[in-house]
Amino acid sequence: MEIRSELEIAAPAREVWGILTDFPRYQEWNPFITELKTDGVVGGPLRLLLSLPEGRDYRLKSRLLRMEEDFELRFRTHLLFPGLFDGEHFLRVISLDAQRTRFVQGENFSGVLLRFSGRTLTQVARGFDYMNEALKRRAEANGRSGSGASGASAMAADLSVARNRVG
């Protein structure tokens, strides 16, 4: 089963990729993946803190599958052991032209617990939307100001709203 969310961002792909791969700053803007740590080596470990909207936080250990500059970050996570509940998450940056980018986030889920995970999958889908919108705000604000510092308080307020949003 795949969950997917995408949107268009009025910023260059390189800007979007730069924000997406600036992992230490995720807590500043990302309401869904609030922490991500990796050495960037394909096949190596990737650790993340996932904050489900209207749900709990999950500290996950993943494996980095792909990190293609200005295009895709992909990783796989297993709950306890492979085959129980697995997810292959992808974040794609697609350049539409010099100032427009399509951002696609998705995850392919499988495993024996999948059919019992409806509520969690709904929260994950909502989390994708919240993260995508936060990335769009940050990239477009950076493009207007020429620096990542502009709009920081507005983004912090947006992050607070997204974390507490119901529905």
- What's the pLDDT at 153? 41
Contacts of 12 (CB under 8 A, 6+ apart): 95, 98, 99, 101, 143
User: Is-contact 155 144, C-beta < 8 A?
Assistant: no
Q: Is residue 83 part of a domain?
A: yes
- What's the pLDDT at 165? 43
> Residue 45, by phi and psi: left (phi above 0), alpha (psi -120 to 50) or beta?
beta
Domain range spanning residue 104? 2-157
Average pLDDT over residues 126-130: 98
Burial of 80 (0-12, 13-18, 19+ CB in 10 A): exposed
- Among the residue ranges 103-112, 119-128, 145-154, the one predicted with the least confidence is 145-154
Q: 134 by DSSP, 3-state: which?
A: helix
Q: Is residue 164 part of a domain?
A: no
Q: Is residue 165 part of a domain?
A: no
Q: Is residue 51 part of a domain?
A: yes
pLDDT tens sequence across 64-99: 999 999 999 999 999 989 999 999 999 999 999 999
Q: Is residue 35 part of a domain?
A: yes
Using alpha carbons, list the distances in angstroms from residue 143 to 12, 84, 117, 151.
8, 43, 39, 11
d(CA 3, CA 18): 24
CATH number of the domain that 85 lies in?
Answer: 3.30.530.20
pLDDT tens sequence across 35-53: 999 999 999 999 999 999 9
Average pLDDT over residues 54-66: 96
Domain count for the chain, please give it: 1
Nearest Cα residue to 132 out of 2, 4, 1: 4
| This prediction's pTM | 0.85
- What's the pLDDT at 145? 67
Contacts of 117 (CB under 8 A, 6+ apart): 85, 109
Show the tokens assigned to 3: 């969950």
Average pLDDT, the chain: 90
Nearest Cα residue to 159 out of 27, 19, 31, 50: 31
